Amino acid sequence: MFIVMPRTKEQNEEIRKESIRIIEKAALNLFSEKGFEGASIADIARKTGVSKALVFRYFPKKEALLESIIKREREALSSLIESVQFIQSPRERFIRWVDFLFSHLFSNSKEMKLLFSLFLHCESAVGLKKILAKNWSSLESLVIQEQKIIKGYTGNDDEDEAYLFRYLVQGVIIEYLLDEDREHLTRGKKLVLAVFENKIQSRKNM
């Protein structure tokens, strides 16, 4: 006779986390392929191999699932940018942030594709606009931290240099998302570093 022992609280929590991880992964793939509006809960359940009821158990609506994915991406970027704050050399801090950022872009291309899609289409979808507005303050905090890293390196308070950095990185992301050729990231990272190194050298030679 076999006695089935009830699962512990810790085991139940692990099962819950794993279920959420699997559902989010399937949703991310579908949102990336079809767009947020084009993917349904039924699609996500089918992709995951679970019932719609289980998806709804963890995410009462599709917007909650999207918010969870955005939160995870935001926390990952926050962790990366915080990890370079303790580097004393402004130049080394900047180089390390660029390195971390481009490595993250390569490992999380689907998240980047989803975020770009959301920003491009938020005006036509009220639900998307609300989700982005809800997360905007946290995303803005990341931008401010990045600006401080750039200003610390260049020694210049001109915010145009922060915009230049952003425009360069976003251009690289778009090129990469179009054909997922990693060479765009490799070349793009070198160009970003070279552009800012040249700006600093030019300023020193003035």
Residue 125, pLDDT score = 53
Q: How far apart are CA 22 and CA 32, in angstroms?
A: 15
Q: How far apart are CA 114 and CA 109, in angstroms?
A: 9
Residue 126, pLDDT score = 54
Tell me the three state secondary structure of residue 82: helix
Q: Which residue has the tokens 């947020």?
A: 36
The predicted model scores a pTM of 0.80
Residue 82, pLDDT score = 92
Per-residue pLDDT of the chain (206 residues), as tens digits, is 455 557 787 777 788 888 898 999 899 888 888 888 888 999 999 999 888 998 999 999 888 888 888 888 888 888 999 999 999 999 999 999 999 999 998 888 888 877 777 766 655 455 566 776 776 777 788 888 999 999 999 888 888 899 999 999 989 988 888 888 889 999 999 999 999 999 888 877 76
Q: How many residues does the chain have?
A: 206
Tell me the three state secondary structure of residue 150: helix
3-state helix, strand, coil in the chain (%, to 5): 80, 0, 20
- Structural domains in the chain, CATH included, are 8-60 (1.10.10.60), 71-204 (1.10.357)
- Give the pair of three-digit tokens for residue 152: 């610390």
65 and 44 Cβ atoms separated by less than 8 Å: yes
Residue 32, pLDDT score = 81
Any residues with CB less than 8 A from the CB of 141 and at least 6 apart, and which? 78
Q: How far apart are CA 117 and CA 163, in angstroms?
A: 21
Q: Please calculate the CA angle 195-196-200 and round it to the nearest 5 degrees.
A: 120
Residue 88, pLDDT score = 92
Residue 123, pLDDT score = 54
Any residues with CB less than 8 A from the CB of 83 and at least 6 apart, and which? 100
